[in-house]
Amino acid sequence: MPYRIKKGSGAKPWKIYNKDTGKLVGSSTSKKKAEASVRARLGGAHGWKGTWNR
């Protein structure tokens, strides 16, 4: 998995980092939402299109 989730501080403490570049790519209010964001990012990288793209 090319993403890493770490807990930080602030209004959206769950930070999503790209493992390859080390850059912050997103943040979420809960760990569950951060994990869902990572799954969506991975799906998008493999050609998945959400229902909003139809």
Q: What is the pLDDT along the chain (54 residues), one digit of tens a residue?
A: 699 999 999 999 999 999 999 999 999 999 999 999 999 999 988 888 877 765
Residue 33 in domain: yes
Residue 42 in domain: yes
What pLDDT does 25 receive?
Answer: 96
Residue 37 in domain: yes
The pTM for the full model equals 0.82
Quote the number of domains for the chain.
Answer: 1
> What whole-number distance in Å separates Cα of residue 44 and Cα of residue 31?
20
Residue 51 in domain: no
What pLDDT does 54 receive?
Answer: 59
Residue 22 in domain: yes
Q: Where in the sequence is the domain holding 7, given as residue range(s)?
A: 3-46
What pLDDT does 45 receive?
Answer: 84
